[in-house]
């Protein structure tokens, strides 16, 4: 028995979404003198030994003989001071869980506190105490809902002492009304058996279960609605992130206000912390303008009532939109509110749902501990060049596109990795999320030259993030050859991917941007085509590519004129040759191989001869790199007085007149 076993136990239950959401839950291990408890701001699924706070149990026990002020704020502040003072010196930089004193009350060595929705189907029902006694008899203790923190610990002390006196044994299962469950055992193996036994007994009582299976929904209307909600929530230069969820349960709740009322208040403190005091329900409207007004009016009314903006918005007939200042915050709100929905359904097995009391809701609303927990859980970097910008980069599974996407993510953007090679896009997006955080990127399959596929790409992105600020049209193809060699099919393919696809991307990206402009006339948006130096000058025996790129600059200038009234800037970046990228270096289809075979470089006998020839044409003596293009993109986005331009990034190889 050791802290190492505590880590394993914590990771096991923390990784199970049926037990733990939003990094919540608590675990502890104790010896006669020490208590090791999860620190605030840590996540059970990934916690290590360093994530636990070492507490002196003798110092902690002095809390029970201390007279604390009657004033709630003063009392909780004093309790926090005493809790922090009970830490051993090696844990002096960590903040222990607010439930530390409660964990210490159990005599068993290991304690697990979690909030399974199935359990809370009982604890959040009107007759929860009777239900617990009916299912578990004398094997479980029960605590009536009360204020968390010191008051909960004090009530738990009384309940455990009463249980011990009546039953001549220690409680190993404790249910808390509207809060969750505690398990206690002397070994992790015993605890696992206990948890499995309790959950199995509850499962046998669940006749009604939530159904989160997919349903058909109006994706086009949802994708037009998300930007309205996003702009209504964005303020002070900050971009909100909004995701959309529609399944059988959320569709049912969105179908009418009567259905929605079953989740209109929080069941547990977690629902309130991560989803606000209540979700917002918005009636369907005949026009987008009317819907934006209804959403804006609802948000303003909400703000006046609760001094904050809602995170959960149901739109009648559509589904559930979840919002946050960051993607992480929006996704946590979604996951936690889906838990609220689960509880509302599970509670039907036990007489229906019972929300937290108005008194407890008001306490949580002003409790410093929950404000701290939310701040830690949802903290994010700020001050980056593309903070919160929702973006699409096509052709981003590899090459220039992948490098551009990564550089944009480093600067705070959320990026849809769009590519015909979905497996490659998924691997790229997953890799970015692993390095830069969950939600930083997501993969979407797109045939950039197919109109329906492009429409679906835009819808998927908007339903994932809530809107679109930057569209980078990067997908491209090269087919080199002489006039005699070039086949019509190859020529038309190059035109489709390099020229027609740009038209389709700009067409559907601008539709989303126009919606946002209508809601937020002062904001600016960007459509950026990754063109080429071959769009600035002809390319020998590469006319299909050069012609498509020349045409692309014509589109850029024309789109810029048309979209300027909507504050949509349209520009092209014209890179030099990415000589180290797969487009050039692929041993079978790369341009070095193609140009060697086409005889484009006179006297070249090897691929290396071709590469040296192209390097020698650049005054700065190297090929273009993705970071060179990314810097140009950042400039274009930040520059508020530039549109319709073709910006060379060629190392001086091609200079504008």
DSSP string, 256-319: -HHHHGGGSS-SSHHHHHHH-SS-EEE---SSHHHHHHHHHHHHHHHHHHHSS--SEEEETTTE
Cα separation, 27 vs 37, whole angstroms: 6
User: Looking at the domain that runs over 390-577+625-649, which CATH code has it been given?
Assistant: 3.40.50.720
Residue 153 backbone zone (phi > 0: left; psi -120 to 50: alpha; other: beta): alpha
Question: Tokens 């839950």 sit at which residue?
Answer: 25
Cα separation, 593 vs 478, whole angstroms: 12
State residue 367's pLDDT score: 64
State residue 98's pLDDT score: 82
- Higher-pLDDT residue of 315, 612: 315
Question: Tokens 């990564």 sit at which residue?
Answer: 406
**DSSP one-letter string for 377-435:** HT------TTTT-EEEEET-SSHHHHHHHHHHHHTT-EEEEEES-HHHHHHHHHHHHHH
Q: By percentage, how much of the chain surpasses pLDDT 90?
A: 76
Write out pLDDT tens, residues 408-453: 999 999 999 999 999 999 999 999 999 999 999 999 999 999 999 9
Question: Which H or E element spans position 569?
Answer: strand 568-575
Would the pLDDT of 162 be above 90?
yes
Identify the DSSP state of 216: -
**Three-state helix/strand/coil letters over 495-564:** HHHHHHHHHHHHHHHHHHHHHHHHHCCCCCEEEEEECCHHHCCCCCCCHHHHHHHHHHHHHHHHHHHHHH
Q: How does residue 579 score in pLDDT terms, banded at 50, 70 and 90? A: confident
Three-class secondary structure of residue 214 per DSSP? strand
Q: Which of 200-204, 261-265, 477-481, 631-635 has the lowest mean pLDDT?
A: 477-481
Write out pLDDT tens, residues 5-63: 999 999 999 999 899 887 778 999 999 999 999 998 888 999 999 999 999 999 999 99
Residue 215 backbone zone (phi > 0: left; psi -120 to 50: alpha; other: beta): beta
Would the pLDDT of 400 be above 80?
yes
Q: By percentage, how much of the chain surpasses pLDDT 70?
A: 97
Q: How does residue 399 score in pLDDT terms, banded at 50, 70 and 90? A: confident
Q: How does residue 380 score in pLDDT terms, banded at 50, 70 and 90? A: low
Q: How does residue 581 score in pLDDT terms, banded at 50, 70 and 90? A: confident
Report the chain's C-alpha Rg in angstroms: 30
Three-class secondary structure of residue 332 per DSSP? helix
Question: Tokens 């810097």 sit at which residue?
Answer: 631
Q: What is the pTM of this model?
A: 0.90
Q: How does residue 403 score in pLDDT terms, banded at 50, 70 and 90? A: very high
Q: How does residue 588 score in pLDDT terms, banded at 50, 70 and 90? A: confident
Q: How many CA atoms lie within 13 A of 418 on its CB side?
A: 28
Q: How does residue 589 score in pLDDT terms, banded at 50, 70 and 90? A: confident
Residue 127: how many other CB atoms lie within 10 Å:
14
Fold of 219-377: L-fuculose-1-phosphate Aldolase (3.40.225)
Would the pLDDT of 124 be above 80?
yes
State residue 41's pLDDT score: 81
State residue 198's pLDDT score: 97
Question: Which H or E element spans position 445?
Answer: strand 441-445
State residue 443's pLDDT score: 98
Question: Tokens 């506190």 sit at which residue?
Answer: 113
State residue 236's pLDDT score: 67
Write out pLDDT tens, residues 504-545: 999 999 999 999 999 999 999 999 999 999 988 998 888 999
Calculate the average pLDDT of the chain. 92
Identify the DSSP state of 86: T
List the catalytic residue out of 545, 566, 595, 635.
545
Phi, psi of 572 (to 5 degrees): -115, 145
Average pLDDT, integer, range 387-399:
95
Tell me the CATH architecture of domain 3-203.
3-Layer(aba) Sandwich (3.40)
Asked whether the domain spanning 219-377 has the same topology as the one spanning 3-203, the reply is yes
Domain ranges within the chain, ordered by starting residue: 3-203, 219-377, 390-577+625-649, 578-617
Would the pLDDT of 377 be above 60?
no
Average pLDDT, integer, range 124-148:
92
Could you confirm whether 436 is annotated as catalytic? Answer: no
Sign of CA dihedral 158, 75, 24, 87: negative
Q: How does residue 238 score in pLDDT terms, banded at 50, 70 and 90? A: confident
State residue 382's pLDDT score: 59
> Count of H helices and E strands in the chain?
26, 18
Residues in Cβ contact with 486 at an 8 Å cutoff, skipping those fewer than 6 apart = 479, 543, 544
């Amino acid at each position: 028995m050791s802290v190492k076993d505590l880590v394993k136990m914590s990771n096991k239950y923390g990784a199970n979404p049926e037990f733990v959401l939003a990094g919540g839950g608590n675990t502890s291990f104790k010896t006669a003198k020490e208590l090791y408890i999860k620190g605030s701001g840590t996540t059970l699924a990934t916690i290590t030994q360093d994530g636990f706070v070492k507490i002196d149990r003798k110092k902690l026990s002095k809390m029970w003989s201390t007279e604390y002020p009657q004033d709630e704020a003063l009392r909780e502040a004093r309790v926090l001071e005493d809790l922090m003072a009970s830490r051993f010196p090696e844990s002096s930089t960590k903040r222990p869980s607010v439930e530390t004193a409660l964990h210490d009350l159990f005599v068993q060595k290991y304690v697990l506190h979690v909030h399974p929705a199935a359990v809370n189907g009982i604890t959040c029902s009107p007759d929860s105490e009777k239900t617990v006694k009916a299912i578990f008899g004398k094997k479980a203790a029960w605590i009536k809902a009360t204020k968390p923190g010191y008051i909960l610990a004090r009530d738990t002390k009384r309940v455990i002492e009463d249980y011990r006196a009546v039953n001549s044994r220690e409680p190993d299962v404790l249910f808390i009304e509207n809060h969750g469950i505690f398990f206690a055992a002397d070994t992790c193996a015993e605890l696992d058996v206990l948890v499995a036994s309790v959950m199995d007994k509850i499962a046998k009582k669940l006749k009604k279960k939530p159904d989160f299976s997919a349903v058909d929904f109006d994706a086009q209307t949802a994708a037009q609605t998300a930007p309205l909600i996003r702009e209504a929530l964005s303020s002070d230069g900050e971009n909100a992130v909004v995701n959309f969820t529609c399944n059988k349960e959320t569709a049912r709740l969105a179908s009418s206000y009567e259905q929605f009322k079953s989740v209109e208040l929080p069941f547990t403190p977690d629902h309130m912390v991560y989803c606000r005091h209540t979700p917002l329900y918005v009636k369907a409207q005949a026009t987008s303008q009317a819907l934006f007004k209804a959403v804006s009016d609802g948000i303003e009314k909400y703000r006046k009532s609760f001094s904050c903006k809602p995170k959960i918005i149901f739109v009648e007939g559509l589904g559930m939109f979840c919002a946050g200042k960051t993607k992480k915050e929006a996704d946590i709100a979604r996951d936690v509110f889906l838990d609220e929905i689960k509880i509302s359904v599970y509670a039907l097995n036990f007489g229906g749902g019972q929300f937290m009391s108005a008194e407890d809701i008001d306490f949580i609303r002003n409790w410093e501990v929950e404000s701290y927990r939310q701040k830690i859980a949802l903290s994010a970097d700020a001050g980056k060049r593309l903070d919160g910008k929702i973006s699409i980069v096509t052709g981003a599974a590899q090459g220039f596109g992948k490098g551009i996407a990564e550089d944009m993510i480093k600067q705070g953007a959320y990026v849809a990795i769009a590519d015909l090679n979905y497996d490659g896009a998924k691997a790229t997006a997953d890799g970015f999320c692993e390095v830069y955080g969950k939600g930083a990127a997501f993969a979407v399959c797109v045939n950039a030259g197919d109109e329906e596929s492009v429409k679906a790409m835009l819808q998927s992105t908007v339903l994932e993030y809530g809107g679109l600020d930057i569209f980078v049209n990067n997908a491209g193809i090269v087919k080199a050859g002489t006039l005699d060699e070039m086949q019509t099919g190859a020529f038309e393919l190059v035109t489709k991917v390099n020229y027609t696809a740009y038209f389709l991307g700009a067409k559907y990206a601008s539709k989303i941007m126009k919606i946002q402009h209508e809601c937020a006339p002062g904001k600016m948006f960007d459509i950026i085509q990754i063109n080429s130096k071959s769009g600035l000058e002809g390319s020998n025996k590469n006319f299909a590519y050069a012609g498509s790129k020349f045409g692309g600059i014509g589109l850029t200038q024309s789109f810029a004129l048309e979209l300027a009234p909507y504050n949509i800037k349209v520009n092209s970046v014209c890179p030099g040759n990415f000589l180290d990228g797969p487009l050039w270096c692929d041993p079978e289809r790369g341009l070095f191989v193609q140009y060697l075979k086409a005889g484009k470089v006179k006297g070249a006998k090897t691929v290396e001869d071709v590469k040296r020839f192209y390097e020698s044409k650049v005054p700065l003596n190297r090929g273009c790199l993705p970071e060179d293009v990314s810097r140009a993109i950042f400039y274009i986005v930040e520059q508020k007085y530039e549109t319709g331009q073709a910006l060379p990034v060629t190392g001086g190889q091609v200079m504008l007149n």
